[in-house]
Amino acid sequence: MFRLFASRLALLVRVFSHYTMNPKATIKRLRKQIPTFECIPGCTDCCGPVHAAPWEESQIEKHTGKEAKLNRLPSPGLCLRCPYSLNGNCEIYDDRPIICRLFGTIDEPTMLCPHGRRPKVLLTKKQGAKLTAEWMKTF
């Protein structure tokens, strides 16, 4: 009986560790939980200063071949736009951080698209907070 319990406990620890100790797996799992929707082509109204987890930054660096420009505090007087928002397009769209993916998907006035675009089903505030908290553990 004890061996069965110990083996099940060991399995649970391995599975739990996979999600809490592996930022790549955690972020990929979180991405799957965020509903998608279609933006207005060329619109970058939601693109502002962005933070990214270290693993997300590494993916951006692989994509662009340059050091990631996120998580930087802007200097006074500079535009508060995402450095990857270029000519109405997101240069890192496929590798964009979780925070970018969450915008427009949470039923919270400050997180809704200003143009009314949204997924078929919005995340609740509680779901959005839970996803954000899990994402922040990967920093």
Q: 20 vs 40, which has greater pLDDT? A: 40
The parent domain of residue 106 ranges over 23-136
Average pLDDT of the chain to the nearest whole number = 84
Report whether 98 contacts 57 (CB < 8 A): no
Whether residue 86 lies inside any domain: the answer is: yes
Mind listing the pLDDT tens digit for each residue in 74-92? Answer: 556 555 678 898 888 899 9
pTM of this prediction?
Answer: 0.79
Whether residue 84 lies inside any domain: the answer is: yes
Whether residue 82 lies inside any domain: the answer is: yes
Position 72 pLDDT exceeds 60? no
Whether residue 10 lies inside any domain: the answer is: no
What is the dihedral angle through the alpha carbons of 128, 56, 116, 41, rounded to the nearest 10 degrees? -170
How many structural domains is the chain composed of? 1
pLDDT at residue number 81: 76
Whether residue 5 lies inside any domain: the answer is: no
Whether residue 46 lies inside any domain: the answer is: yes
Mind listing the pLDDT tens digit for each residue in 102-123? Answer: 999 999 999 999 999 999 999 9
